[in-house]
Amino acid sequence: MITASPGARITPPSPSTDWRQLWREAVTDAGELLALLGLQHLADRLPPADAGFQMRVPRGLVARMRHGDARDPLLLQVLPQLAELDEVPGFTADAVGDMDARAAHGLLHKYHGRALLIASGSCAINCRYCFRRHFPYGEEIAAAGQWRQALEHLRQDDSISELILSGGDPLSLATSKLEELGRGLAELPQVIRLRIHSRLPIVLPERIDSAFLNWFGSLPIQKVMVLHVNHANELDPSVDAACARLRDAGATLLNQSVLLRGVNDHVDALAGLSERLFAGGVLPYYLHQLDRVQGAAHFEVDDARALALMDALRARLPGYLVPRLVREVGGDASKRPV
């Protein structure tokens, strides 16, 4: 289940290495994705109109899926399913509870010492469990003026020592936009760490190009990148290379995963993920219980099983390879340990 097999090379990577071009070439048609994987016989099980959330997956990630395997853990994260149309009590459009605040201000200051900037609402991939499925906001979140307002707020609060860029995916922004933010950061001496939450180095490793690295590497503060990987098969040599470039630029690399039924809810899958991350120079950080987003109920793993999995994982791995099982609860002073 966690073999190093890269899967059949069904979609040779485009000769282009320009990440914007690769972004545009993502597969957005579920029928095409199934055909690429030799699974066209499953096309009649697709929900109409992608169940209201367009499928999107970069071709480089498709190349890491196993040909002919309808249970492939990468495919299950992106393929629209009929189960998404089920109405399940407790699974709502605003699962995290503060979407209005998010969209309006872009800056979330919930935990001591760190503030989180919704730098961008867009993303190169559409994970089926993403809370964005009900808030198809776009680039406007990072529109001009937005950061000035957020930076203004930060200037007036010297308790904030860490700025977190999140989204969406903050690396979906043009590097020139990130450079703008970097200039603003220079006016905030109390901020000693910049943290970026991103899945782009995994799903579109070409994003970690020399222009980005020049900017990132030159920032005169500590840098943390929290990646988002759910299964070992998401990592391949192109991702390892992107991670190595990020480390060379001075970043500490951590990973957060979401516990997903059918994808990684097995001790072999979780142990394999931790081992593979470490081999790529990345430490496991959080394993999240799913946000209860409408349309994602079929991914949920109940707490009893999640805790049993954690016990099994602790029995198998060194402590530093065991992520913390948490869930986000509105109003708490931190992520809540399960």
Going from the C-alpha of 13 to that of each of 22, 195, 203, 227, the distances in angstroms are: 9, 30, 13, 22
Q: Which helix (H) or strand (E) holds 150?
A: helix 146-155
Bridge partner residues of 118 (DSSP)? 166
Question: Amino acid identity, residue 168?
Answer: G
Angle, nearest 10°, between helix axes 237-248 and 210-218?
Answer: 30
Q: Which of 65, 76, 119, 125 binds ligand SF4 (CB under 6 A)?
A: 125
Shortest distance in whole angstroms from residue 72 CB to ligand SF4: 17
CB-nearer residue toward ligand SF4: 126 or 238? 126
Binding flag, residue 324, ligand PLP (CB under 6 A): no
Phi-psi region of 7 (alpha: psi -120 to 50; beta: other; left: phi over 0): left
Which of 99, 101, 108, 338 touches ligand PLP (CB under 6 A)?
Answer: 108
Contact 223, 145 (CB under 8 A): no
Give the interface segment with ligand SF4, choosing from 103-111, 112-120, 166-174, 216-224 (CB under 6 A).
Answer: 166-174
Q: Is 74 in contact with 233 (CB distance < 8 Å)?
A: yes
Using the rule CB under 6 A, is 168 a contact of ligand SF4?
yes
Q: Which of 111, 137, 215, 278 binds ligand PLP (CB under 6 A)?
A: 111
Q: Is the dihedral of CA 228, 25, 134, 118 positive or negative?
A: positive
- Find the shortest distance in angstroms from Cβ 167 to ligand SF4: 6
Q: Which parts of 144-203 interact with ligand PLP (CB under 6 A)?
A: 164
**Does residue 338 interact with ligand PLP by CB under 6 A?**
no
Residues numbered 226-245 forming contacts with ligand SF4, rule: CB under 6 A: 228
The interface partner of residue 130, options being ligand PLP, ligand SF4, none and the CB cut-off 5 to 8 Å by kind, is ligand SF4
Give the CA-trace dihedral at 37, 42, 47, 50, to 10 degrees. Answer: 10
Stretch that binds ligand SF4, among 118-126, 149-157, 188-196, 263-271 (CB under 6 A): 118-126
> Which structure tokens are listed for 48?
């109409």
Give the interface with ligand SF4 as residue ranges (CB under 6 A): 123, 125-127, 130, 132, 167-169, 199, 228
Give the interface with ligand PLP as residue ranges (CB under 6 A): 108, 110-111, 114, 116, 164, 334-335
